Amino acid sequence: MARLFGPLLAIGILLLDQITKYLVTEILFRSALNVGATESFVGWILNPPERLGPVTLVLSPFLNLTMVWNSGISFGALGGGMLGDYSNLILIVGTLVIAAGFALWMMRSIRVVEIIALAMIVGGALGNLTDRVRFGAVIDFLDFYWENAHFPAFNVADASISIGVALLLIHGLFFAKDTG
């Protein structure tokens, strides 16, 4: 069972990411825009609907849900076709290669914190990869801000990747024993 912990956590993060994207886009945004019938989660996964246009739901003085289609990588970097006509294909292949490398590292690791961090990275990468394959872009919707300063929109997968990387760095810098 211990060997399955990392892959199961990664799959759980992938599912959490996709479920939150479904709930926000299909339940909240489509209702707000009054467009199209809401699909079931399985229907949404199997038959990607048309991309939604711009919509923002204000939740608090510092958080909006805002529909953003991210064609780049984290926080929109390399977006807008900066990689040319094959941008999406390049990002799909690159994500697969990097996620496979992290998954292999995860499967070989014996450190619990490292396994959790790597599972978070792999699960997040697979969540965004799923969007990229289905829609040609990643669904971002969390918009944190203070007054007029907005942090780039992101999603559960992005948060998982960021937390996983931070855990790896903190663990590696401060807690991992020197094996050399």
Please list, in sequence order, all residues whose beta carbon lies within 8 angstroms of the beta carbon of residue 106, skipping any fewer than 6 positions away: 6, 7, 10, 114, 115, 118, 119, 122
Catalytic member of 17, 131, 143, 158:
158
Q: Which amino acid is at 137?
A: A
Identified catalytic residue from 85, 140, 143, 178: 140
- Answer yes or no: 17 catalytic: no
> Residue 144: beta bridge partners?
63
140 is an active site residue: yes
CA angle at residue 84 from 78 to 90, to 5 degrees? 70
Q: Look up residue 147 and give its DSSP letter.
A: T
Catalytic residue annotation: 140, 158
